[in-house]
Amino acid sequence: MRRHIARAWTGAVALAAGAAVLPLAAPGSAVADSVVIGGGPVQVSEHPWVVAIASRDRFGGTRSGQFCGGAVVSRTTVLTAAHCVDSGVLGVPLSEVRDLKVIAGRNDLRTSEGDEITVSNVRTNPEYNSSTNSGDAALLTLAKPLPESYVIPVAGRGDAAYRAGTIAAVYGWGDTTGGGQYANSLHAAHVHVLADTVCEEAYPGSADGKYLAATMVCAGERQGGKDACQGDSGGPLVAQGRLIGLVSWGSGCGRPGRPGVYTRASDVAKILRIRG
Ligand code: 4AZ
């Protein structure tokens, strides 16, 4: 999230520098966010609802311009984090980004496999609060529909998948070490849904954000080591075949006592009027 962006940006600059052509105007202040620490490679063909959010103009072409993740929630809509489309991450207002894309079916970002689809509209959750990070979600409309088989159902309120102790998986192309090593291919890690009290105690309110159980989900491992990280933001947290969260924020990556915080998918589904 926002306050980690300076660190994330370090990695992105390194990536952009590897590109043959640097963007004319590199994003000034930020990049995207965080994936997967302590996980391993997976095939996007088996998890086709995981997509990359990309802009080559803003982030360079080496890794297809990827800077966040997203989840396909209908043939023409993708959920991502609100903070992924704010100017803090993009470096310019969203309206100035002319090549915002959703990339589906591309395992390795250095290739051209799969589909690159233009984003025709962006709706940020009107209830997003960038101080607490509550409601960190945005809905992207695609210019061209994806196959129905790519769509993942969104968990509803009170879904059993939200119970503490449930095993979930988080997916992304983000930092795999916490040190700015962005993945070229999709990674995933298994984490447990944790009791809200764990995150309420870890994040009672600071410059990083404040854990709010109504709009957030707490997930990780008590001993740390498995987590989302910079570049994974907006990407899916999935349990029992349903989308339960979006990578949103946390203090560092994989630190014991510092679980990952996810946007509660059932809460934003209601606001953005999508399934759930
Ligand atoms: C980020 O900066 C970020 N470990 C995302 C997820 C987590 C931490 C930071 C969770 O986008």
Phi-psi label, residue 133: left if phi above 0, alpha if psi -120 to 50, beta otherwise: left
Q: Whose CA is nearest to atom 11 of ligand 1?
A: 33
Distance 254 CA to ligand 1 centre (A): 10
In angstroms, how far is the first alpha carbon of the chain from the final one? 25
Which residue numbers are catalytic?
83, 136, 233
Distance 56 CA to ligand 1 centre (A): 22
- R_g over Cα of the chain: 16
Neighbours of 144 (CB within 10 A): 12
**pLDDT score at 276:** 64
Which of 86, 176, 232, 262 most suits a substitution to test ligand 1, by most atoms within 8 Å of the C-beta?
A: 232
What is the residue-level pLDDT of the chain in tens, covering all 276 positions?
544 432 333 333 333 333 222 222 223 222 223 347 889 999 999 999 999 999 999 999 999 999 999 999 999 999 999 999 999 999 999 999 999 999 999 999 999 999 999 999 999 999 999 999 999 999 999 999 999 999 999 999 999 999 999 999 999 999 999 999 999 999 999 999 999 999 999 999 999 999 999 999 999 998 999 999 999 999 999 999 999 999 999 999 999 999 999 999 999 987 887 766
Q: Which domains does the chain have, with CATH numbers?
A: 12-28+49-150 (2.40.10.10), 160-267 (2.40.10.10)
Q: Which residues line ligand 1 (CB under 6 A)?
A: 1, 4, 8, 33-34, 227-230, 232-233, 247, 249-250, 253, 260
pTM: predicted TM-score of the whole model, two decimal places: 0.89
Contact of 23 with 98, CB cutoff 8 Å: no
Burial class, 13, CB count within 10 angstroms (exposed 0-12 / middle 13-18 / buried 19+): middle
Q: How far is the CA of 229 from the centre of ligand 1 (A)?
A: 5
Rounded Cα distance between 242 and 80, Å, is 15
Give the pLDDT score at 107: 98
pLDDT of residue 1: 53
